[in-house]
Amino acid sequence: MLMLVDCSNCRTPLQLPAGARSIRCAICQAITRVADPRSLPPPLPHQQSHATPSTYNYHAPPSPYNHLPSFGQTPSVNGKKRAVICGISYKKTKHELKGCINDAKCMKYLLINKFRFPESSILMLTEEETDRYRTPTKHNIRMAMHWLIQGCEPGDSLVFHFSGHGSQQRNYTGDEIDGFDETLCPLDFETQGMIVDDEINATIVKPMPHGVRLHAIVDACHSGTMLDLPFLCRMDGSGRYVWEDHSPPSGIFKGTNGGEVISFSGCDDDQTSADTASLSKVTSTGAMTFSFIQAIERGHGTTYGDMLTSMRTTIRQTDVGGSSGGGGAVTSLLGMLLTGGSLGIGGLRQEPQLTASEPFDVYTKRFSL
């Protein structure tokens, strides 16, 4: 039987054999010592593990979301749809954000009413949820990511949305061009640690089978390559673009098992919002979700290139919180998101990014969730 323990240095999940008192991390080589294995989480079913710098092993225990509908119970004409939406406000902490739960609500509304996602197949993780498995803790986000890809088949469409804090930490394996891993900050990140891009890639990117499509919308600082996808669309102000190969120098494979993964993110890896730690502003998170939904509502989301251009244009505008035209409930929700506080958008130094498991023509490939 194997048990799960986080590396004491880089927080990588490691599988500790029953009875073992220490384990060396294959990612950063640090040794993690466990005084009493009985204090660890419940044992996992035995699975072969070869944790090397070219593999990232995280095996979740049985999902607490098994009571939710399976793919087979949510049929649609073009395949089945499932989404995980995380919105974290870090309420009553020095990291508090104001717009993230609104982001989550807006995204859920969009998926249900625009893209016909069954409400029963959308898993919401916010601090407003009363179910203990639906608070956005590190453990629950991990479990939700595993639930997202369980049983997926060709034709299925998956969405992962995160609105909250993002960060970076030093990479020791040589698989990051800039030397830093990108990380998501769950609600309990100060005690339980962050979720590293290596784990996100291993959980919802690498297993993606042929014919399945995943879209990630990551609304956080340092989020440009949060899924560790191998290709980044580098677009200039005129709309010209090239696909940069971000395959790790170490040679670690970061692609899929035949499926397609595309990610929109709030900013480049080296960009931050000066207001993300403020108690009264959430410009980067609110602005990105707003621009994503507005592009779709205004009909600017025909292709991926149109989406990216529209999002960047919206964020550069100084009157984003004003009337967006067209009315409707989504517009009203977005108005609440950006006008409910001191949310000046002007002067933002962030540019939404597009990354993918494979390059494509962004101006001919049609966007759809």
Of 95, 165, 222, 246, which residue is the catalytic one?
165
Place of tokens 């070219």: 54
Listing DSSP states for 162-211 in one string gives EES-EEEEE--SS--TTSEEEEE--TTHHHH-PEEHHHHHHHHTTT-BTT
Of 7, 100, 221, 233, which residue is the catalytic one?
221
Q: Which helix (H) or strand (E) holds 311?
A: helix 304-316
What lies within 8 Å, CB to CB, of 167 at 6+ separation is: 182, 183, 185, 194, 221, 222
Distance between CA 21 and CA 17 in Å, rounded? Answer: 9
Pick from 55, 18, 25, 20: which is nearest to 6 by CA?
25
Active site residue 246: no
Active site residue 222: no
> Hey, how many other C-beta atoms are within 10 angstroms of the C-beta on 258?
12
Distance between CA 195 and CA 144 in Å, rounded? Answer: 13
Active centre residues (catalytic):
165, 221
